[in-house]
Structure 1
């Protein structure tokens, strides 16, 4: 996913410019990665993809990104055509706490089918969300990525396929892939995170155990993780059993 400042150069500090030949565009040019919105960026046709108050995409931008990815994978998107309405924007991660935020709005999908959405409740790394669409094409998509995927991209993809599982991780959990046996695997990374090398083969259990050891899980997160454990047990694998035991012990203290 492209960095917002690569679309809107005016957001950069004075004197800084977007370099067209950067690492992300190199990956796209040599065919090693799909750079979402690449053609739009080159032609500066980027209106409504990102809203003013947040670094992530709008709902419309996320849906457009999902449609672009599905077309790349050869998945038909004709089974659902969105109808758009207007809603207020409530996310303002580009503003400081207490700073006055402008009144903004964005497009929202008004005819989405009823989806079954379950999440393990963890914030960022270690979060797992499953979205089931009984009206989608019969295929399962497993996505590893960051918050740029978890907000609107996964939702857009789930409008077209029967099941999407999103794991917030910087790399692929090979054991999860073997357990889930998806039809398609998507690895998403925001351009801003290309400074870090993806972690290859790191298990979800090790990510959650690391957050637990560093006291990075709130009581609410641990409770929801425990409450939804049975729903995700087939994805987690046996290594997560020890993590669950440690979380349950921490909750009763």
Structure 2
């Protein structure tokens, strides 16, 4: 197994994350010991989200972004085998009957037979993979998607979060909305957790949305902004019900990368967006 600077070198120039705090390789091989109360914690979370969605009258969908290692398991070194005993399946089971869920593994595996849907030198998907997941998520939410013809895709070179550790760039596919009908009303420019951005669409009659996200949603923001009348995006794992109360959206979406599921979010005592921002501000002093 070839490992350099937390980078696992797979077949055909595919790079994967390893030796990180979330132990993604142990997760996908079934070697990660899941606590006995793991599923119960997630069930309690989805119980709360169902209750809140009913009380506050919003439609809710929880989406899990598949690990790159699960989509491209055939590109992993031969000694690493994908297990069916992964944390994601406990989370999906906990949500059953309580929340709509989307885990777009199958569509990404289908598409990857014809084109790259993740970035070879990065942990994230490319804009093509993000678009296919966007379609799956909004179909689950019952919201009309934009058509693929609304985007232009081009190949670019970037500093991948994996390839850069090895001293080279990686190629990816980047998508851009051709005729955007949205504008950005607000962007607090806080890096990562605590980031808040708000979009407004000039088209009338579109539903509104609050999105709780992580880094994988970055490639999807313009797609969502073109879809919803008003879109508030917050980078955090837990739902901030004060924002939902203020916005009264039609739809609430939350997205998390699969490798982070080992830490169940806490909606009851987790930080609000305001508290995340204040914490980041204090760290910069």
TM bucket (normalised to shorter chain) is 0.7 to 0.9
Q: Is the 8 A contact 1:7 1:44 kept in 2?
A: no
1:182 Cα deviation after fit: 0.9
Which secondary structure state, in structure 1, belongs to the residue aligned with residue 175 of structure 2?
Answer: strand
Residue matched to 1:183:
250
1:113–1:135 contact (8 Å) kept in structure 2? no
Q: How does 1:111-126 map to 2 (within 5 A)?
A: 111-117=178-184, 118-126=186-194
After alignment, is 24-33 or 113-122 more displaced?
24-33
**Structure 2 gaps, min length 5:** 1-64
d(CA) in 2 for partners of 1:156, 1:6: 25
State TM-score, norm by structure 1.
0.73
2:273 maps to what in 1?
Answer: 204
Question: 1:71: which partner in 2?
Answer: 139
Task: Summarize deviations over 1:59-103 as a string: whole Å, max 9, x none.
Answer: 12112211211111111226774243323132411124470224x
Say which is worse superposed, 57-66 or 177-186, in terms of deviation. Answer: 57-66
Do 2:71 and 2:105's aligned partners in 1 also have CA atoms closer than 8 Å?
no
Report if aligned partners of 1:24, 1:35 keep a CA contact under 8 Å in 2.
Answer: no
Give the distance between the partners of 2:238 and 2:232, measured in 1 at CA: 15
Match of 1:60 among 123, 128, 133: 128
Cα RMSD (Å): 2.6
Give TM-score scaled by structure 2 length. 0.66
Give the C-alpha shift of residue 136 in structure 1.
6.7
Contact persistence 1:9–1:18 (CA under 8 A) = yes
Aligned pair count? Answer: 213
- 1:85 pairs, out of 137, 146, 153, with 153
Q: Which residue of 2 aligns with 1:127?
A: 195
Q: 1 or 2, which has the higher strand percentage?
A: 2
- Measure how far apart 1:19 and its partner are: 1.4
**Aligned equivalents of 2:148 and 2:228: distance in 1?**
10
Contact 1:70 1:157 in 2 (8 A): no
The alignment partner of 2:277 has SS state of helix
1:159 is aligned to: 226
If asked which structure has higher relative contact order (CA below 8 Å, sep 6+), I would say 2
Residue in 2 aligned with 1:245?
none
Q: Is the 8 A contact 2:126 2:172 kept in 1?
A: no
Q: More deviation in 81-90 or 168-177?
A: 81-90
Deviation by residue 1:157-203 (Cα, 9 ceiling, x = unmatched): 22222121110111011111111111110111110101112021431
Q: Is the 8 A contact 2:121 2:161 kept in 1?
A: yes
Whether the 8 Å contact between 2:102 and 2:137 is mirrored in structure 1 is no
SS of structure 1 residue aligned to 2:140: helix
Evaluate the alpha carbon distance shift between residue 112 and residue 50 of structure 1 in structure 2; reply closer, same or farther with a 3 A threshold.
Answer: farther
